[in-house]
Amino acid sequence: MVVSEICIVFKIKSQNTKVTKVTIMWTLKSKTAVVTGGSKGIGAACAEQLVGLGARVLICARTDSAVSSAVESLNANSGTAGGSACGVVCDVSTKEGRSALHDAINSQLGG
């Protein structure tokens, strides 16, 4: 689920809990981001928020199935902000993997 509103919950003395919704006042449209380890955990959560705020996001992970699944999920749940995701299979702990990520940034995000 992509967050499009922030909910602030507080209590007013002994009265019932009051919920106020605050609309986010900024966007990441026309911005790009690279998230390593973007197929699960904290990386996936970061990618989800970035896409939800309108950014073009390139994720990377070590397996094709992880990248494909994550990119599909991110694009399916991108919301109305216009964000999108793409991905590359690479292991950034290796020189070859970092080179593959660099090449993907150039080819998929335009440099």
> Tokens for 44?
């996936």
- Show the CA angle centred on residue 93, arms to residues 109 and 95, nearest 5°: 70
Q: Compute the distance between CA of residue 16 and CA of residue 95 in angstroms, rounded to an integer.
A: 57
pLDDT in tens, 43-83: 999 999 999 999 999 999 999 999 999 999 999 988 788 89
Handedness of CA 102, 49, 37, 70 (dihedral sign): negative
Beta strands at 84-89 and 56-61: parallel, antiparallel or unpaired:
parallel
Give percent above pLDDT 70 in the chain: 77
By the 8 A CB rule, do 14 and 41 touch? no
pLDDT in tens, 32-51: 999 999 999 999 999 999 99
